[in-house]
Amino acid sequence: MSDINIPENTYDAIIVGGGPGGLTAGLYAARADMKVLLLEGNAQASQITMTDMIENYPGVSEISGFELNKTFKKQAVSFGLEIRPEQVDRINRKKSGDVEGWEVITDSDTYRTLSVIVSTGASWSSLGVPGEQEFVGRGISYCATCDAPFYRDREVAVIGGGDTAIQEALYLTKFASKVTVIHRRDRLRAAAILQQRAFANEKITFAWDSTVEKILGEDGVTGVKIKNVKEPGRHEEISVDGVFIFVGLVPNTDFIKEVVNLDNGGYIITDSDMKTSAGGVFACGDCISKSLRQVVTACGDGATAVHSALLHVDELKGQVY
C-alpha cells in the first residue's frame, strides 16, 4: 500500500468528449477499474451522430453513425463508465493532495483528476461566403442526415469533394431530384469507392474547378453563384433550393489551446502513445494531428490514450510493477 495522500473525490481520468475515441477510452478505463468520468458536452451534435451510414468499421457491415455510437456508449456504461452531459470550459493544473493533477471546470461543476483524455473531435467548417450565415436553417445546411428529407423532389448543391461531401451527396439522392457537387478542383478527394458510386449515380452532376462566390436567395436559398477558377471571368448561377456545405473540419480544441501544443490547423499534437505536451493530458480521435480520421482510428487512439493514462496514474500513486 502506498502512503501517498490523494483525496477520495479525485478521478483517475476524466475523458472529455463522447464520440468513438472518448467512448472507447471510457470502455478501456472502466474495464481497467480506473475511477473515470466522461463529460460528453453536446454529444448529439457530434460528427458521428450525424453520419447516415458507416460501412468501414470492421465487423459491422452497415450501421448509422448514431446507432454505432449508441452501441459504444451502452458497452462502456455496462462496465461502469460514469457519463455526465457537461461542457468543459477549461482545465488547469491543480495538486490533488500530494500529487500533481488537473482541475476540470465545466459549465456546471469542477472536478479533480490525475489525468485528462481529450477527445473533443472536430466540427464542420463554414465556407465564409456572403449569404451563408444569413440562410443557415433556410436552405444552408451542414448535415444531410438531418435535413435531406426537406428537399424531396427538389434540387440541391453540395460543396466540397472529400469523403463527407460525396457520402452526403449520395445520401441526398434518396430525396432530391438533382444534386450538383461543386468542387474547387477537377478531381475528388473522396475514397475511390465513394467516387465510383457518385459517378454512377444519375442524379449527381459536377461543377468542376468551381468555387462559390455567393449564396443567392430572399426568404430562403434560391441558388448559388459560382466562378470557374481556371477560366477567369466565367461566372455561373445555379438554381437550387438547398446548399449543403462539407468543406472540411475545425478541431474542437479552443478550450485547451493554452494548455497543450497544437499544430497550425489547431489539432492537438500527440506522440504515438497519445501523450500531449502537458504531463497527464492525453488526446485521441479527430481532434489530434494525424493523417487519417476514421471511427476505427479514433477507437484505436482511445485505447492507447487510456493505456498511457493508466501508467501515468500508477506512477503518481507510487504503484510500480
Q: Which of 33, 89, 107, 146 is catalytic?
A: 146
Shortest distance, position 189 Cβ to ligand NAP, whole Å: 4
Nearer to ligand NAP, 98 or 213 (CB): 213
Shorter beta-carbon distance to ligand NAP: residue 33 or 186:
186
- Residue 245: Cβ within 10 Å count: 27
Tell me whether residue 147 is one of the annotated catalytic residues.
yes
Least Cβ distance, residue 264 to ligand NAP (angstroms) = 14
Cell numbers representing residue 123 in the block: 466540427
The residue whose Cβ lies closest to ligand NAP is 162
- List residues near ligand NAP by CB under 6 A: 56, 127, 159-165, 167, 184-185, 189, 211, 246-249, 293-294
Residue 284: active-site member: no
- In the chain, beta strands by DSSP E: 10-11, 13-16, 36-39, 82-84, 88-96, 99-106, 110-113, 116-118, 122-124, 140-141, 155-159, 178-182, 204-207, 210-217, 221-228, 235-239, 242-245, 249-251, 281-283
CB of 123 to ligand NAP, least distance (A): 10
With cell 434560391, the residue in question is: 222
Which of 12, 52, 147, 241 does the annotation list as catalytic? 147
146 is catalytic: yes
Q: How many helices (H) and strands (E) does the chain have?
A: 6, 19
Which residue among the candidates 143, 284, 287, 299 is catalytic per the annotation?
Answer: 143
User: By C-beta, is 172 or 249 nearer to ligand NAP?
Assistant: 249
Residue 23 Cβ, how far from ligand NAP at the closest point, in Å? 18
Q: Which CB sits closer to ligand NAP, 161 or 280?
A: 161
The contacts found for 257-266 with CB under 8 angstroms, 24 or more apart, are 259/91, 260/118, 262/289, 263/289, 265/289
Segment 206-212 long-range contacts (CB within 8 Å, at least 24 positions apart): 206/180, 206/181, 206/182, 207/180, 207/181, 207/182, 207/183, 207/236, 207/238, 208/183, 209/183, 209/184, 209/185, 210/182, 210/183, 210/184, 210/236, 211/182, 211/184, 212/127, 212/129, 212/159, 212/182, 212/243
Q: Smallest distance from the beta carbon of 262 to ligand NAP, in angstroms?
A: 17
Taking the complex as a whole, the smallest distance from the CB of residue 173 to ligand NAP amounts, in Å, to 16
Question: Nearer Cβ to ligand NAP, position 83 or 247?
Answer: 247
Cβ nearer to ligand NAP, comparing 32 with 129: 129
The residues annotated with a catalytic role in the active site are 143, 146-147
